Amino acid sequence: MSDKILSINEWHTKQAKECFNGTWDLIDKQDRTAEDTFKMIHMAHASRYHWGQVGKPVNLARGEWQISRVYSLAKLGESALYHAREYLRYCEEHNLEAFDLAFAYESIARAYMVLGNQEEMKKNLVLARSATEKVEKEGNRNYLNSELDTIK
């Protein structure tokens, strides 16, 4: 362990990153337990809280995306939709890049999938695919399309 004393901003940044990455580990976990799901939800919220102390709009927006994703995985559609809409709001208010806009629509579509609303799901998938076409990096476009292909 390092003897370095962190400033409060450095500490918040460290916590935000650790919680974000820990949440990703649980998102990717194949045999996630009910306890893992609770931990995943709490860690996503903790990450977003810490980014709220020190982050830029893109950090806050992506924190909302991650919270939406974990709620979708937990089959809590209303909560997923709430945070997906917050992500979209950040994208629009802060003119975030097409990558984020595409993922905002992806998260809304995914929440509607969980809620069983096929019409809204399909509408937001179209918006997500349209935004994906404007993403400059081919690797990012491919990743977005692979995520969109999981929404049915």
Coil, strand or helix: which one is 41? helix
For the stretch 7-17, what's the b/e string if a residue is b when 16 or more beta carbons lie within 10 angstroms of its beta carbon? eeeeebbebbe
pTM for this entry = 0.94
CATH pick for 8-148 out of 1.10.3720.10, 2.60.130.10, 3.40.1010.20, 1.25.40.10: 1.25.40.10
Cα–Cα dist 75/21, whole Å: 21
Q: How confident is the model at residue 3 (pLDDT cuts 50, 70, 90)?
A: low
pLDDT tens, 29-68? 999 999 999 999 999 999 999 999 999 999 999 999 999 9
pLDDT tens, 64-107? 999 999 999 999 999 999 999 999 999 999 999 999 999 999 99
Residue 149 DSSP code: T
- Say what the pLDDT of residue 4 is: 84
Tokens matching residue 114:
């969980």
Residue 39 near residue 26 (C-beta atoms within 8 A): yes
pLDDT tens, 125-148? 999 999 999 999 999 999 999 999
Residues counted in the chain = 152
Domain map (residue ranges) of the chain? 8-148
- Residue 11 corresponds to which amino acid? W
Q: How confident is the model at residue 2 (pLDDT cuts 50, 70, 90)?
A: low
Torsion-angle region of 95 (φ positive above 0: left; ψ -120 to 50: alpha; else: beta): left
Residue 52 near residue 86 (C-beta atoms within 8 A): no
